[in-house]
Amino acid sequence: MPINLGTVDRILRFVAGGVLVGLAATQTVGPWGYAGLILIGTAAASRCPLYLPFGLSTCRKAK
């Protein structure tokens, strides 16, 4: 699977995932907050499988 996440997209996913997991750990939201682990995982791998069928990519193109 090709890399399809750019820097800004990765940072936003790390932050949003961390917030969701933190809220779930403090029981502010339900257990669904642990879905933030998916965001953290895709950011760490620089790949989003949901972008593939749509041909989306937020990373810069090589010149």
> What's the CA gap between 62 and 60, in Å, rounded?
6
Helix (H) or strand (E) holding 43: helix 36-45
Q: Does 2 fall in a domain?
A: no
Q: Which domain holds residue 43?
A: 7-54
Q: Does 59 fall in a domain?
A: no
Q: For residue 7, count other CB atoms closer than 10 A to its CB.
A: 11
**Series of mean pLDDT values for 10-residue runs along the chain (63 residues):** 92 98 97 97 95 92 59
Q: Does 63 fall in a domain?
A: no
- Tokens found for residue 58: 């937020």
Q: Does 16 fall in a domain?
A: yes
What pLDDT is attached to residue 62?
54
Q: Does 12 fall in a domain?
A: yes
Domain tally for the chain?
Answer: 1
Q: Does 44 fall in a domain?
A: yes
Q: For residue 27, count other CB atoms closer than 10 A to its CB.
A: 9
